[in-house]
Structure 1
Amino acid sequence: MVGPAGNRCRDLVQALIVSRILDPASNLATARALSPDTATSGIGERLGLGEIDEDEFYAALDWLNEHQSAIETALAKRHLQGGTRALYDVSSSYLEGRYCPLAARRYSRDGNPGKLQFTYSRLHAPDGCPVALEVFAGNTGDPAPLSAQVDMLKQRFRFDRVVLVGDSSMITEARLREDIKPAGLDWITALRAPAIQALVAGGRLQLTLFDERIMAAITLSDFPGERLIVCRNPDLASERCRRRSELLEATERQLARIKAAVGRPRDPLHGTAVIALKVGAVLNRHEMAQHFELDITDAGCRFTRKKDVIDAEAATDDLYVIRTSLGAACLDDADTVRS
């Protein structure tokens, strides 16, 4: 699938793949480990590579890049068929260096906030086999790469019916409206917590529905042609309650320090803008702004918890909602309730 037998670049790519799995290292270290005079394994001999220069690896990677589309098409024919589910995800990695044209500053999933990042999207078959990958600039938002994947599925792979599966940060309302629905693709995603709370507050999702069941499929006029799979999970509620309590307490401790700084007799913190800036930094750090009532003046700072907001949020802690365009035939395990 990578290339014809006997092709030097193909053999080098195969060696890189094997080495990456067994003993990951830089191209220079890998070249030395596979060359006969400095070999630390039998991979180079087994593949008949002979003497290897690290520049050959870079040339082989350029060759592989030119053949990426053909390889992905071959993988799609083998692992994806019309009507199958395509698992889609977006991730990022940091870079050691400064000269990559795609490198940009962004939130680091690797926990290296000082490093430049690049973003990549991955398309997998239902069994987890990678089928396609595309790299984007490091400051690209999670939903943006989805447009490229939709185009690839419909145009390059020529699939009539594909179900995209992704979380709510990738398959957003905008992507549904602008990319997925116009392309005629089916999809499975999830509702965010505020949307679930709005359904409960508006009476369109009644919690008594789960007195005798933990899962149900419902249809609502707000989501025409769609189905919502509502699940109840007490363990999820316990975890969310624990996390919210910890964040509330951490926020209150830091707000109390600001309040003490405002009220101290010597060199007090004063000025509405200055105090608000420090309070805002605390609330943003813990994402707790919606949970507190604030009263900030030039010489004062008071805060209290919004009990009604916290209680309303806690009421839906044990709920999560899957949103899908798939019909009832795909949802046999759920009781169906129409409203």
Structure 2
Amino acid sequence: METTHRVHVGDARDLPLADDSVALVVTSPPYPMIEMWDDVFAALDPEIGDALEANDGDRAHDRMLSVLDDAWAEVARVLEPGGIAVVNVGDATRTLDRFRVYDNHARITTAFEALGFDPLPGVLWRKPANSAAKFMGSGMVPPNAYVTLEREHLLVFRNGERREFDPGAQRRYEAAYFWEERNRWFSDVWDDLNGERQTLSDPDLRERSGAFPLELPYRLVNMYSVYGDTVLDPFWGTGTTSLAAAVAGRSSAGVEHDPALASAFDDRIEDAPALSRDLAAERLAAHREYVRGSGDDFEYDAEHYETPVRTSQERRIRFYEVAAVEETDGGWQLTHDPFEG
């Protein structure tokens, strides 16, 4: 199996992709009203900078969301019918004239609905708190303290009706997940994600990109796509979504406005062979541990690995490891071999 991976330096509001050319979008845009993204938004729309200087939070928030709306319209164009879009976004708290919360997740959901997407049940990603101080505002006395935001949203949208596959489609059933993975992954609260598996050569890049941990897009890629699909991240950052797609046996495309961030992927993609083997081995080992600890009799056996499975849909599950990484004029081409386990 071969996959291709391309990153374009450009603007998420003008994707260099054909209509209906991707099966899954996994992205985390700049969060409106989070200060680290002010300059990015102001460069795209000078009125945002004017509103912030005037302490007009409502107007700044509306203009920031309008910038993202143009990107979501492009997502609607390139996402195939039945394709899934997952948007990781957090709400923001900020004082401009007065303190308030800015509801990014609700406004983005409204934007996708206006484009004809169907919202699906999403996930609350509970992130580790950065500080032992759990309060904002007046501390230990009522009534002027504020709840600390320790979660972000994974908003899930489908572009029309469900995707259709030929009965028994091999690539779909090989891409199955284990029964216990399904129960954990499709929970509406995630609090079990690990941190980054690797560091970037430039420590400033992760901070500038706001990168999420690899396990987040890796999980989503396995949940909402099949082998050979193309996964898009229009706010690419340092390419964590593309790396997740690569080790999961999917092709990828990304758009990033900062050339320095885009170039960081040159080193990251070289880790794909070892990373793909590690992830496959971990998933298989975790499943075998689950089988040993369940105390149940399993009716089915996996065809490619020496382990029982709980359902018939898991029988053909198969992992792939990256065997070779080749840089091309347009990006990277990866060869994937079956993981023997």
* TM-score normalised according to structure 2 size: 0.23
**Which structure's residues are more often strand, by fraction?**
2
- Structure showing greater radius of gyration is 1
**Which structure's residues are more often helix, by fraction?**
1
* TM-score normalised according to structure 1 size: 0.23
